A and B are shown apart, each in its own frame.
Chain A
Amino acid sequence: MLRIENLSKRFGKNTASEVLAIDGLSLRVSPGEFACVIGSNGAGKSTLLACVSGATRPDEGKIVLEGEDITRQPENKRAGKIGRVFQDPLSGTCASMTIEENMALANRRGKPRTLRMGITKKEREKFREALSELNLGLENRLRDPVGLLSGGQRQSLSLIMATLVRPTLLLLDEHTAALDPKTANLVMNLTAEVVEKEKLTTVMITHNMRLALLHGTRLLMMHRGQILLDFDELSKSKLTLQDLLEKFDVALPENNTAGVLSDRMLLG
């Protein structure tokens, strides 16, 4: 499904502040897998996702999605295969446009934009149905501008929009990190539900070890641009937070957990 080979990405090349964000990383994600990626700040998680989504071009390596090499494909071209939810709830929707207009934009992900009408009657029914599953009452507010919604509502909407056209790959970039704990829980449960129901191949970045242990069928830990630990569904199910910390300790050559794990990762 998703195959990443020997990926490298440097920022600020040939400057004093050069950073090796991704360092020869290889990864395979099988169809239907829900992979959680954890790691501290600067581990390269977001850069990895940016390379896959096309927001950033890698320096070296190859990214293959469903047998197609997408390494050099423009971001908007590969959008047809990739659904995304961003960390910032404001990023995933257009504030000045209505809920139904936003959903109609999402319903055309990967399709050419023509001079046909932007929303059809049939679509409205589909949108209403999809929104009613959220139980947020949004199905009765199709013509409200998205700017009137709360962060949690907007993030829930973003998630629905990302999966409105079934994506080959769903990328979640810390999509609950900017929400309050209760809303974050709500959105996370919704995510798990949607991924499960649609059997979506998913890569989720999170800062939060507890979330990563609770959800998904695979757990990856990144450090300094590489994948340090990789647990499959079985080994992940036996894992506890304490195990994870200890394994991380052992795996690290410096043996210096304090510098690598932030409080937020442990407590968040």
Chain B
Amino acid sequence: MTFFAFFGAVELGLVYGLMTMGVFITFRVLNFPDLTVDGSLPLGAAVASVCVAGGMNPFFALIFATLAGFLAGTITGFLTTKLRILHLLASILTMTALYSVNIRVMGGRPNISLLGKRTVFDPVFSLGLPNYLAYNLVFLAFVAAIVAILAWLVKTEYGQSLLATGDNPRMITAMGVNTHFTIITGVGISNALVALSGGLVAQYQGTADVSMGVGTIVAGLASIVVGETLFGTRRVTGAIIAAVLGSVVYRLAIALALGLKFKRFSFTASDLNLITALLVVIALTVPLLKSRLKKRKKGAPFGKKPC
């Protein structure tokens, strides 16, 4: 792997790490397989791009992208709680609807170019840093800020009730928490992070595309599973950081695979889905194999919900 390929992969790992944290909230905290993310990532990209293209400050554009993602998540939450649609189906419905919404947001076009527009990277570029450092610096700042916010949030009364909603809804209802509220806001926060990630990706790649969300959920799951396998911890905050690290490792693994050459055969970008699926399978099987090998020793590691 070249020097630039390595930094490129780390950049992607960090920026999609924001998305991974969002997926973590639904998939691991709320126990909610949420496919909305395949639509809210391009939604964030579309909203941020339209705002930036319209001359808005790129940071404010990200705030609007985040809010749009939150709204998309609350719709999925509303469908599954108040209208009692199966969570997976509710999220697929929102995702499908978002495809149309995203094109509307971009003024009827399937993509928007941000060439020559101001982005969040400009202030760092103006310091004279090389590109690969500038991108990583900005992404790292965003990741650090979100990790800090989430680490605080899960310790609050609200955050604790969110954790409990995913663990034991019956119990937390008996403790006076409205689980509809926690699910709606929880899925909202998750998709807000995914849309933030999408908005940053759009500014980073200089374009928003309606199809850029395809496979978001799989990449998010792969990152979470890789993170758990390599850096798994029991504490929530540790698990969130592990998810981000998993995202980086995941992108590095892909970069590595894309750089492999066997005589005349090499992987192409379109092989990515196959590689991802294999990666998830391997990552999910490792703990199983480990526990089979250690069968005589008692007990599986605590706190890991089966996928």
Residue in A closest to B299 when the chains form the complex, CB atoms: A148
- CB of B178 within 8 Å of the partner chain: yes
The answer, yes or no, to whether A5 is at the interface (CB within 8 Å) is no
Question: A92 touches which one: B155, B159, B163, B171 (CB < 8 A)?
Answer: B171
Contact B174 A84 (CB under 8 A): yes
B170–A86 CB distance below 8 A: yes
A118 touches B159 (CB 8 A): yes
Q: How far is the CA of A147 from the CA of B153 in the complex (A)?
A: 23
How many angstroms between the C-alpha atoms of A75 and B178 in the bound complex? 8
A93 in contact with B171 given A76-B176, A147-B303 (CB within 8 Å) = yes
What is the 8 Å Cβ interface bit string for chain B, positions 91-126, against chain A (1 contact, 0 not)?
A: 000000000000000000000000000000000000
Most buried by B among A104, A108, A148: A108
Number of A-B contacts (CB under 8 A): 90
Chain A CB within 8 A of B172 CB = yes
B176 touches which of A91, A110, A115 (Cβ 8 Å)? A110
Contacts of A108 in B (CB 8 A): 157, 175-176
Q: Mark B141-171, 1 if CB is under 8 A from A, else 0.
A: 0000000000001011111110110011011
Q: Contacts A97-B167, A115-B156, A115-B158 given: A105-B175 contact, CB under 8 Å?
A: yes
A76 near B156 with CB under 8 A, answer no
Is A264 interfacial (CB 8 A cutoff)?
A: no
- Cα distance A77–B167 in the bound complex, in angstroms: 20
Report the nearest A residue to B174, measured CB to CB.
Answer: A84
Give the contact-size bracket for chain A.
35 or more
Cβ–Cβ < 8 Å partners of B234 in chain A: 145
Asked if B173 is at the interface (CB within 8 A of a chain A CB), the reply is yes
B179 within 8 A of A: yes
Which secondary structure characterizes the binding site on chain A? loop
Complex Cα distance A115/B162, Å?
A: 12
> How would residues 187 to 207 of chain A score, 1 for a CB under 8 Å from any chain B CB and 0 otherwise?
000000000000000000000
Q: Digit string of A114-126 for contact with B (CB within 8 Å is 1, else 0)?
A: 1111110000000
Question: Residue A105 contacts which of B155, B172, B178 (CB distance < 8 angstroms)?
Answer: B172
Partner of B168, one of A91, A114, A116: A91
Among B153, B156, B160, B171, residue most surrounded by chain A Cβ atoms (within 10 Å): B171
Tell me the A114-159 residues at the B interface (CB within 8 Å): 114-119, 145, 147-148
Whether A116 and B157, one on each chain, are in contact in the complex, defined by CB atoms closer than 8 angstroms, is yes
Q: Tell me which residues from 243 to 266 in chain B have a Cβ below 8 Å from any Cβ of chain A.
A: none
> Scoring A residues 71 to 104 as 1 if CB is less than 8 Å from chain B, else 0, what string do you get?
0001111011010101000011111110001001
B binding-site residues for A, Cβ under 8 Å? 153, 155-161, 163-164, 167-168, 170-179, 234, 302-303
Apart from A113-B158, A113-B177, A145-B302, list 19 A-B contacts with CB within 8 A. Answer: A75-B173, A84-B174, A91-B168, A91-B170, A94-B164, A95-B168, A97-B163, A101-B163, A105-B172, A108-B175, A110-B176, A114-B156, A115-B153, A115-B158, A117-B155, A118-B155, A118-B159, A145-B234, A147-B303
